Amino acid sequence: MEFRGLSLIFFETLIAFCLITQTLDAKPKNHFEVSEITSTVRQSLNLSGFYRKYVVVGGFSIVGSPKVSDFALKEAAYLIDKMTIKHPEYLQKLAENKVRFSIMARNEFTTDIPEHSDMTPAIFWDKRARGLGATPARPAVSCGEEN
């Protein structure tokens, strides 16, 4: 089976898991609030001015530019919350290491993310990837808002 087929199966399984676990959580669906990034948060995570809004789940920050929809930020928070509900320590460790989840708007590219902006050639990375994982040098996990 090719990679694309495996990816589709993975995401279908993930969606099914989230739908099943939705009934197990007592929190209301809309408990995640999108806020403007404060100077304290900006300094703590060493965030670029590119990022203007964020949501926090378990101490872990999900960030985006003004172009990213609030719904995408809330949906990411909801899914991350569901995926880590039995292991909140994962979010704590990510936050301790200043890792954040960066969401790209539909009309932004991988190298628009400040932590990935120096990757060359940009045209390769912008066509090749719609998101990347974090490293100590680049502490941002990124993905497109459509995902």
pLDDT tens, 69-120?
A: 999 999 999 999 999 999 999 999 999 999 999 999 999 999 999 999 999 9
Going by pLDDT thresholds of 50, 70 and 90, the confidence category of residue 23 is low
Task: Give Cβ neighbours of residue 18 (< 8 Å, ≥ 6 apart).
Answer: 79, 82, 83
Residue 145 scores a pLDDT above 60: yes
The mean-pLDDT minimum among 49-53, 54-58, 130-134 falls in: 130-134
The pairing of strands 60-64 and 53-57 is: antiparallel
Q: What 8-state DSSP symbol labels residue 114?
A: G
Of all residues in the chain, what percent carry a pLDDT higher than 90? 74
Q: Is the dihedral of CA 7, 33, 109, 140 positive or negative?
A: negative
The mean-pLDDT minimum among 28-37, 49-58, 101-110 falls in: 28-37
* Contact between residue 102 and residue 113 where contact means Cβ atoms under 8 Å apart: yes
Per the model's pLDDT, the better-predicted residue between 10 and 122 turns out to be 122
- Tally the C-alpha atoms within 13 A of residue 124's C-alpha that lie toward its C-beta: 4
* Contact between residue 119 and residue 113 where contact means Cβ atoms under 8 Å apart: no
